[in-house]
Structure 1
Amino acid sequence: MSLDSPVSRRLLSEEVFHRLRDSIVRGELVPGEKVKDGELAERLGLSRTPVREALARLTEIGLVEAKPGVYTRVTTLNRRDVEKTLAVLRSLDQLAVETAVPVMTERDLRLMREANRDFERAVADNDTTAALAADDRFHAVPLAAADNPVLSRIVEQLHPQIHRILYRKFSTLLGGRNTIEHHDRLVDVCAGGDARAAGELSGAHWSELGGHINRLFDTNQLTEPTDR
C-alpha cells in the first residue's frame, strides 16, 4: 500500500507505524532523509498525534533517529550498527533453529520447502518483494516452532533494519542460487534431527550475508545523501 493512501481511523498509530516502516524498508524514505510529523500527517490525512507515536516506535527499533531541535530522520546506514544487528540476528536465528529442530513436524518441513519454492520462483521473476516475503515465511517456521515469544519479538524488531538493505541490494545479497541451495540444505538437516548442525548452518549463512554487506560498504554502495 502506498504511503500516500488514506489511513482508516482504526488503530491509527499502528497502521501509520507499519506504513512508515514499510516505506523505509522499500527505500521510499531513504537513509538520512528528514521526516516531519506535520508533513507526514498531511500526506496521510491525519492529525500529528498518531504520526508522532509511530515515529517514536520507529526510533525505538532503530529505523528513525532524532536530534532534538535539529532533525528527525531515517537512520543512516552505519557499518558498525549493521554489524551489531547482524551479530544479534545470527545468534537469535541460530538459537531458534536449535530449539525448533527437536520439535519440528512434517508440516513445518513442508512449509519451509514450499516457502523456498516460492522464493525460487520470485528470484527467477526478479520480484524482490515476493522473494523477501517468501524468505520471511521460510525463517518464520523454525521461529514459530521454537515457541519463544521474547525471541520472536526481538527478531521482529531487528529484521526491518536488515530488510531495507536486502530490498535495495537483493540480487547481490540473496538473489543467487546460493540462498536457494542453503534453504534446501537447512531443511534436510532439520529433517535429520541434528539441531546443532542446523544451527551452525543457519549461523554460517548469516555470517556470509554479513560479508556481502561489508563489501557493499567497502565500495560505498550503501551510502546516501543526508541533506534531503
Structure 2
Amino acid sequence: MIGETGIQTRSLSAQIYTHLKNQLMSAQLHPGDRLKIRELAQSLGTSETPVREALLQLVQDRALEMKPGYYIRVRRLTLREYMELREIRLLLEPHAAAKALSHVDDAFIDRLERCHESLIRAEHEKDYPTALMANYEFHFSVYRQSGMPQLIEILERIWVQTGPLLTLLYPSAPPTYDGPHQHLNVISALRNRDAAAVAEAFKADLIEGGRRFLGYLESIEEEA
C-alpha cells in the first residue's frame, strides 16, 4: 500500500512537472539552460525529491537532457528534429483548431483578440518574453477547445521540445506576413464559424510566419 507521504510527493512532483512544462512550451527557458535540483527546490519551496522526479520525467519527454554527473539542461533540437516536429504540427494543429470551432463563443474570440493585441504590443516594445508567452497562449487556448485531450497531450509533448528553440526567434527572425497577420485571419475565421478557414490560417501561420525563423535555423546550423 502506498503511504500518504508517497501520494503527496507524487502529487507535488506532478505540479512541478506541469509548472516546468509550461515554462518550456511558452519559451521561458532557453536551450542549454541548466536546471539545478537544489536551486529549483529552494525557489519552489519544496524538497528535492519531487523536483528530481519532475526533471527526470522531462528528460523522458526529450525536453531536457542529462549529462554525465547528473547535469540536467534544456535540450536544443537539431534542425532535422525541428523539421520533423514541424511536419507533425502542420498536420495536427490545424485539425485541433478546426475541432475547437464548435466549442468557442464570441466571448472566447474577444479574449483571443486581446491576446493577439498583447503579442503585437510586446513585439513593438521589444518585450520578447511576453510576446512568446502571448503566442503560446493564443495557440493553445484554441487547441484546448478541441475537446480532444489526447491530441492536446501529443501537441504538448511537441511544444515542450520546440518551445525553448523559439527563444531564438527574436530579434533575429521575427514572424513576417505577406498580408494580414495570420492570427487576424484566425480570429476572422472563428467569427465566421468557418472551420476550413480556421485550419488554413493556423497552417499558414506556421509556414508563412515561420519562414524567416526556419532560414535562421538553417544558417546557424551551417555555421555550427
TM-score (norm 2): 0.75
Alignment of 1:176-191 (within 5 A): 181-191=181-191
- Structure 1 gap segments, 5+ residues each: 1-8
Task: Kindly state the Cα deviation for residue 21 of structure 1 after the two structures are TM-superposed.
Answer: 6.8
**Aligned-residue identity in percent:** 23
Equivalent residues, number: 211
* TM-superposition CA deviations, 1:13-36 (whole Å, max 9, x none): 2454334873794345x33x676x
Query: What is the DSSP-based 3-state SS (H/G/I as helix, E as strand, rest coil) of the residue aligned with 1:65?
Result: strand
2:85 paired residue number: 85
* TM-superposition CA deviations, 1:93-145 (whole Å, max 9, x none): 10112112244321122122111111111111111222122222322332232
- Structure 2 gap segments, 5+ residues each: 1-8
Between 198-207 and 179-188, the greater mean CA deviation after superposition: 179-188
CA contact (8 A) 1:116 1:135 kept: yes
Query: What is the DSSP-based 3-state SS (H/G/I as helix, E as strand, rest coil) of the residue aligned with 2:171?
Result: helix
Task: Kindly state the Cα deviation for residue 149 of structure 1 after the two structures are TM-superposed.
Answer: 1.1
Task: Kindly state the Cα deviation for residue 70 of structure 1 after the two structures are TM-superposed.
Answer: 8.8
2:53 paired residue number: 53
Query: What is the DSSP-based 3-state SS (H/G/I as helix, E as strand, rest coil) of the residue aligned with 1:76?
Result: coil
Cα–Cα, structure 1 residues 73 and 104, in superposed 2: closer, same or farther, change >3 Å?
closer
Coordinate RMSD, CA, aligned: 3.5
Cα–Cα, structure 1 residues 90 and 173, in superposed 2: closer, same or farther, change >3 Å?
farther
4+ aligned runs moved over 6 Å, structure 1: 67-71, 177-180, 221-224
Matched, 1:143 2:140: no
CA contact (8 A) 1:94 1:202 kept: yes
* TM-superposition CA deviations, 1:48-89 (whole Å, max 9, x none): 532331222112222123478897543232111111222222
TM-score (norm 1): 0.74
Which letter maps to 1:214?
L
Q: Distance in 2 between matches of 1:200 and 1:20?
A: 28
Cα–Cα, structure 1 residues 179 and 44, in superposed 2: closer, same or farther, change >3 Å?
farther
Q: Distance in 1 between matches of 2:179 and 2:221?
A: 21
